[in-house]
Chains A and B, each alone.
Chain A
């Protein structure tokens, strides 16, 4: 093997085979060159790193992680669970979350309280209430009351009352733009709405 690393397609996705005989700097150099050249191809990918029994130190993994993060790539070492590089909403994380799934639109008078996350496949109408100690994922529009521990992800926000952690929402997104998928979460103790797919934050102007 004369190259520092080889990319191979396999059943588990893209596998990155590292040449175990070369030193760390040349591996990093080779990878950053390849990633730069084929930025578009790798962006958003999740690789499996086959080290060929070479052991990376903590420091080296950290360096690799930040290199991959630059290109929006995540990787996992073969035989291990931990994910380095860019963090995606990955399914293994979701399965660890305790979840309650509501398979219909929640209408006035219906409520759910759950220690964990709640998924609603439909709208949350005015007069309905969702309480979750962790996240709430809504495949619809929020018009009712919603209290989440960490994060609220919805296809549209028009809530009457909403809180994340102990913070109550004071101003909801404007009427006109409510039909946009957003993530609501706490940032510096304030609830912020981030449009999914857009980098601009919708922080309320004082």
Chain B
């Protein structure tokens, strides 16, 4: 029986899709069979981020409408044989979603995969509802800014009301230089406000945007990058390993930073 985890945030643009794709990849690397499901019906992106847009034939709405079998809609990743994508439909809108059907589809998938990561759309409307309905656990992605934290708080409240109580927090795009100069919310205050278990911090890293635009997963594009290291740690923590947090402060800085006033 697989673990179904919804990756959500409330606010848009915080990195839900990137986190879903890369976490899926790293969980696969650890020997799991993983399916990432794009629940952003009408605004699908996960296929592009993973570079699988040419291989999409059917999608989750086709499955829901009974036009194809689940196996026909699953797209195998280019490089990782244990990673699958269940794409969203681009021609439907969120109004067309039948939540009961989605829950049913996911519960069937659960039998043959170790992890089902649901990439939720932004917002708290029907799209979010259908993404969180099948989930038993949730990962909240926040960027360290007030609007993201506030939206996350709202989403957490809704999830808790639905009975999803296993909720962990990922702080994304964490820029230690800005934090040190007190220009960015630090991770401690985010955790303090939201009162959740912090499962990982992903540093601001150019290679994330580069890999996303190239349609490649971070493991393949920049294996040694700090962001990939952070994703790897998160996936190991999800697996139950006790991994210490990265110390961003110890990153190598240029010689000029010695003279920069803090």
Contact = CB atoms under 8 A, between A and B. Distances in A.
A108 B195 contact: no
Nearest to A123: B195
Contacts of A127: 150, 153-154
A122 interface: yes
Contacts of A125: 153, 193-194
Given A107-B154, A126-B153, A127-B153, 17 more contacts: A104-B160, A105-B195, A107-B153, A107-B160, A108-B151, A108-B154, A108-B157, A109-B157, A109-B158, A110-B157, A122-B195, A123-B193, A123-B195, A125-B193, A126-B150, A126-B193, A143-B193
B139 interface: no
Contacts of B153: 107-108, 125-127
Interface string A102-127: 00111111100000000000110111
Interface of A: 104-110, 122-123, 125-127, 143
B201 interface: no
A77 B50 CA distance: 78
Interface of B: 150-151, 153-154, 156-158, 160, 193-195
Contacts of B160: 104, 107
Nearest to B156: A107
Nearest to A110: B157
A104 B151 CA distance: 18
A106 B161 CA distance: 11
Nearest to A107: B157
A122 B156 CA distance: 14
B195 A109 contact: no
A125 B156 CA distance: 12
A143 B193 CA distance: 9
Contacts of A143: 193
B167 to A, nearest CB: 11
Contacts of B150: 108, 126-127
A107 B156 CA distance: 8
A184 to B, nearest CB: 21
A154 B133 CA distance: 35
16 contacts: A105-B195, A107-B156, A107-B157, A107-B160, A108-B151, A108-B153, A108-B157, A109-B157, A110-B157, A123-B193, A125-B193, A125-B194, A126-B193, A127-B150, A127-B153, A127-B154
Contacts of B156: 107
B185 to A, nearest CB: 13
A177 B156 CA distance: 28
A92 to B, nearest CB: 33
Contacts of B194: 125
A141 to B, nearest CB: 8
A152 B120 CA distance: 38
Contacts of A109: 154, 157-158
